[in-house]
Amino acid sequence: MDGEQTGPDASGIAPGVHQVSVRRAPRLGVFLIAGALFGALVTLILTSLYPADPQVGFAATYAYFLVYGIPFGVLIGALLGLILDRRSERRRRTVTVEREHID
């Protein structure tokens, strides 16, 4: 033997031709963060539409409604990300790859 490896290498996959599936999956974390920012922005807009109570103040009112706005935005972002992830699974394609072991 000339140092050629015919069996599986360190990763446990034998060199040769294999079929693999490829898809472009969205990053869910990006959608969660974008949803949180969207929720904070919508909360700011909705809070600024109405006059603030002088005894409480605008900042306290905004902070109170952020408790509801951010989780709602995260939920919207998660749903959008999951819908796009489901859509990317339908567009999955199978390709042929060749794996080689090089010393």
Q: Where are the domains of the chain?
A: 26-92
CA gap 20, 10 in Å, rounded: 19
Q: How much is the pLDDT for 1?
A: 41
| Backbone phi, psi, residue 100, to 5° | -125, 155
Residue reference for tokens 């922005």 = 41
What is the H or E stretch that residue 20 is in? Answer: strand 16-22
CA gap 21, 24 in Å, rounded: 10
More confident residue, 18 or 32: 32
pLDDT tens digit sequence for 6-16: 555 556 666 77
DSSP state of 72: H
